[in-house]
Amino acid sequence: MKYEAPDAKRGFVYVCRLLSRRGYHSAEIRHKLLSKGYSEEMAADILEQVGGLLNDKLFFDAFVWQQLGKLHGTVYMEHSLRMKDIALPTGWDELRERHFAERLDELARRVARKYQEALQEGRWALEQALWRRGFDQQEILRIMERIGELTHEE
């Protein structure tokens, strides 16, 4: 099979295929195009063409929701975004806090179930388990407090 140089039409089709699977940040798309051999100019042109399809706000909304579902905390999320060269959006703290508050009960139940052994070993063991999952100290305290409330309710 003969190698063909990347062109704009192929790039557009490639990006549309990517976007059909999940939301991407424009920086992720740019990085993927560059890694496929597209020039900076061609990548910029393709990003301009698909500009209406890209929605960075929706990407961050879905990203935070997904990461909390995987029991990943703020520290992990911010590190993951930095590794992808994606800058934190304005309003990051509010977005993260809103999703965290919405899912606090679910997080507490899932953490209690997943880290049942650590919970029985004591507070310190559970804190360490959550710390390894990328939760910051404030999030850990809120989750542990909610776990305590849920166990008293039962």
pLDDT digits 0-9 by tens, 82-124: 998 889 999 999 999 999 999 999 999 999 999 998 888 888 9
Query: What are the structure tokens assigned to 55, written together?
Result: 């929605």
Q: What is the pLDDT of residue 5?
A: 56
Q: What percent of the chain has pLDDT over 70?
A: 96
Range of the domain at 104: 56-153
Q: Is 82 within a domain?
A: yes
Q: Is 104 within a domain?
A: yes
Looking at the fold, whether 38 and 69 belong to one and the same domain comes out as no
Mean pLDDT over each residue of the chain, to the nearest integer: 89
* Own/partner long-range contacts of 54-57 (Cβ < 8 Å, ≥24 apart): 54/19, 54/24, 54/25, 54/26, 54/29, 55/23, 56/25, 56/26, 56/89, 57/89
Average pLDDT value for residue range 129-142:
96
Looking at the fold, whether 60 and 38 belong to one and the same domain comes out as no
Looking at the fold, whether 19 and 85 belong to one and the same domain comes out as no
Average pLDDT value for residue range 49-71:
87
Q: Is 3 within a domain?
A: no
Per the CB < 8 A criterion, the answer to whether 19 and 54 are in contact is yes
The residue that leads in pLDDT, 55 or 72, is 72
Closest CA to 40 of 14, 13, 16, 6: 6
- Can you give the pTM of this predicted structure? 0.75
Looking at the fold, whether 100 and 122 belong to one and the same domain comes out as yes
Give me the number of domains the chain comprises. 2
Q: What is the pLDDT of residue 1?
A: 41
CA separation (Å) from 95 to 55, 73, 112, 117?
A: 15, 13, 25, 32
Q: Is 1 within a domain?
A: no
Looking at the fold, whether 27 and 66 belong to one and the same domain comes out as no
Query: What are the structure tokens assigned to 69, written together?
Result: 């579902």
Looking at the fold, whether 98 and 31 belong to one and the same domain comes out as no
Looking at the fold, whether 30 and 98 belong to one and the same domain comes out as no
CA separation (Å) from 55 to 19, 43, 51, 80, 146?
A: 10, 17, 8, 19, 34
